[in-house]
Structure 1
Amino acid sequence: MNRILVILLSFLYVLFMASLAGFYYKNDETEKVLAAVAGVLCGAMPLLLLALFLRLQFTAPLIVFYFIFLFCSQYLGSILDWYAISWWDLFLHFMSGVLLAYAAIPLYERMVHRSAGKKVSSWFIFLFTLSFAVLGGVLWEIYEFSMDQFFNMALQGGNKDTMTDLIADTVGGFVMATWAGLRTRS
């Protein structure tokens, strides 16, 4: 069922973003075309990487959450310019921390031998999911910094912007990691 959900949501999101890319290309709005093309790539990623190659089993809520996050960041944020709203970027960084920590749970379950079961400390699960979320935030900030340096873009708004983004990623990851750690205790 989840495989069908991935295929359906990926197809719909890729179609939506490809349509936007065509529309904005005709209207000569280059930045929006680039955001829509990025949407096509991000929308196809779960289909290509997760469903076909890695064979990880992600839950339906995680899959849906991923596409909601893409819609909010790429369409609402970049294309409709909701990043102009002062709290929007911070909110999305918080949500990305939650999303990454939530994605770390099935990854962890796939990596740990089944015989370990309840022997694994809930603290370890907490630290793994939190670390995964924080690493995702750090890698994103490295990406933004690199784009600014090499392509003269303006993705970062200075040290304060970077640090508040990383704090929001960490808080979101902390919330989900706490839930994951408590879930394994019971």
Structure 2
Amino acid sequence: MENKSSNKIIVLISLISNVLMFVVAFYLLIYVLATGDDPNGRLLSHFATTTLTALPLIAYAVLKEKMNVFLLVFYTFYVFVAVFLGASMNFYNQFENINYDKLIHVFFGYTTAILGLIVLIKTNKLNQSSLFFNLLFIFSFGMMIEAVWEMLEFSMDQLLGSTTQGVPVLGFNGKYLVDVGETMFDIISNFIGVLIFIIQFTFYTKTKKAPIMSFMIRELSK
């Protein structure tokens, strides 16, 4: 009973957080559309935030008690730091001095590894496969998502004129070019996130003494 009460409180906090982010981002979206005042080019970011914060609200309305609490909390936290703060609040540019973008890419890598773990759990492969296979799958899955993400960013920059892969600089040939280093550092950051998860998962598999990983697998298996 106590566990159910705790879960209800956690779910409520997560849903309220999504509502607040939705309200702020929606207001900013309407403001930009109405006034055209968007000096930092945040229009698409506000749209992304409103969409991504609305999804868990819709999901909860449909699933109710069946909604996975761990996924809801993790999703809410990721959207908060990566989309709401990073994109809508422009933290990626405002806090470029502390490499906020790269820190989020590390977190993104860890997140994609969790998605790989979910696939293994839902397909009943986690306990039936060797440690090597599980690690190879999680690593490959995480890096595949990062590759797809970078392709999406490249496509957006080409089609919409955005600068998600870096601001073009004037080259020696007189043409504006985007430094490939930005993309490579994103991939490396993602790799670090995946690697952190793999080390954590390996320690859990060998010792069964990793409480965070144990909790994660138990919650994702529900």
SS in 2 for 1:153: coil
Question: 1:58 touches 1:106 (CA, 8 Å); kept in 2?
Answer: no
| 1:78 alignment partner, one of 64, 72, 87 | 87
Question: More displaced, 10-19 or 156-165?
Answer: 10-19
Map residues 33-44 of structure 1 onto 2, 5 A cutoff. 33-44=43-54
Map residues 83-98 of structure 1 onto 2, 5 A cutoff. 83-84=92-93, 85-86=96-97, 87-98=99-110
Aligned to 2:158: 149
* Pair 1:160-2:172 in alignment: no
What stretches of structure 2 of length at least 5 have no aligned partner? 1-6, 167-178, 209-222
Which 4+ residue blocks in structure 1 deviate beyond 6 angstroms?
Answer: none
**TM-score relative to the length of structure 1:** 0.78
How many residue pairs get aligned? The number is 181
Distance 1:108 1:49 in 2: 23
Question: 2:112 touches 2:194 (CA, 8 Å); kept in 1?
Answer: yes
| 1:20 alignment partner, one of 25, 28, 31 | 28
Question: 1:97 touches 1:133 (CA, 8 Å); kept in 2?
Answer: yes
Distance 1:107 1:91 in 2: 25
Aligned to 1:171: 192
| 1:112 alignment partner, one of 124, 128, 131 | 124
**TM-score relative to the length of structure 2:** 0.67
Higher-RCO chain (CA-CA 8 Å, sequence separation at least 6): 1
- The structure whose residues are more often helix, as a share, is 1
Distance 1:171 1:130 in 2: 11
Report the AA paired with residue 126 of structure 1: L
| 1:123 alignment partner, one of 102, 111, 132 | 132
From the superposition, tell whether residues 98 and 164 of structure 1 become closer, same or farther in structure 2 (CA, over 3 Å).
Answer: same
Give % identity: 24
Report the AA paired with residue 181 of structure 1: T
Question: 2:116 touches 2:138 (CA, 8 Å); kept in 1?
Answer: yes
From the superposition, tell whether residues 127 and 172 of structure 1 become closer, same or farther in structure 2 (CA, over 3 Å).
Answer: same
Report the AA paired with residue 122 of structure 2: R
Distance 2:110 2:61 in 1: 21
Residue 19 of structure 1: how far off its partner (Å): 2.8
Question: More displaced, 65-74 or 83-92?
Answer: 65-74
Report the AA paired with residue 183 of structure 1: Y
C-alpha RMSD over aligned residues: 3.1
Distance 2:33 2:150 in 1: 28
What stretches of structure 1 of length at least 5 have no aligned partner? none
